[in-house]
Structure 1
Amino acid sequence: MRILVVCGAGASSTFVAQRVRRAALGRGLEYSASAGTAHSLPTDLDAADIVLVGPHLAGELDGIRSAAATRGAAVVLLPDDVFADITGTRTLDLVEEALRVRQPADTI
């Protein structure tokens, strides 16, 4: 699973990506997580299965969803308190929930 975390400038998304990567490793999941920006999104989407969008980009969510849909990537708007998730486990839970919703029940 390739996770892309998107924010405005790339700084906060870097922290979230590192935390969710560590949380996935702790659960034995082979997930990658990288950081990107709204500006780099068109290129970064080619290497993403799911896009986590920083809460400050909520106004751009429809455009991000449209771009991600053309590549088959899911999109999750992160909650306002995502940066308080020091361990990354709550953020990883959001990823796993989004993946469950995308999959038909008979493949889970």
Structure 2
Amino acid sequence: MNVLLVCSMGASTASMCKRIDAAAAAEGMELTTTAVPMAMMGDKIDWADVVLIGPQIRFMLEKVSASAKGKPVEAIDMMAYGTMDGAKVLAQIKGMI
């Protein structure tokens, strides 16, 4: 499964990707995550099976959903993002599929 994380600049979501990858590996789940800034979302949206957006740009949810063409799109849980809780975000991903 391919998971795309979108945020305003892509830096903080890159750290979240590492946490999600670690949580998935601990569960033996095959998952590929990548983070991009909003401006580059179009380059990766077709690759993704699931799209998560950083809570700081949750107001862009409708725009991202329209670009995702029916793929599941959600804002990352604010508390999980703030604490960089990869396991909690992985649970959110599982709930989306």
Give the shorter-chain TM-score range. Answer: over 0.9
Counterpart CA distance in 2 for 1:41 and 1:96 is 22
Partner of 2:63: 63
1:1-108 alignment, distance < 5 Å: 1-69=1-69, 72-81=70-79, 82-86=81-85, 88-99=86-97
Q: Which runs of 5+ in 1 are unaligned?
A: 100-108
Amino acid at match of 2:90: L
Q: Deviations over 1:20-75 (max 9, x none)?
A: 01111110011001111110111110211001100011111100001002xx4211
User: Identity of aligned pairs, percent?
Assistant: 27
Counterpart CA distance in 2 for 1:13 and 1:73 is 19
Counterpart CA distance in 1 for 2:14 and 2:25 is 17
- The structure 1 segments of at least 4 consecutive aligned residues displaced by more than 6 Å after TM superposition are none
Matched residue pairs, number?
Answer: 96
Greater relative contact order (CA < 8 Å, ≥ 6 in sequence):
2
Amino acid at match of 1:84: T
Counterpart CA distance in 2 for 1:22 and 1:73 is 24
Amino acid at match of 1:74: P
Counterpart CA distance in 2 for 1:3 and 1:83 is 19
What is the aligned-residue RMSD (CA, Å)? 1.1
Counterpart CA distance in 2 for 1:52 and 1:63 is 13
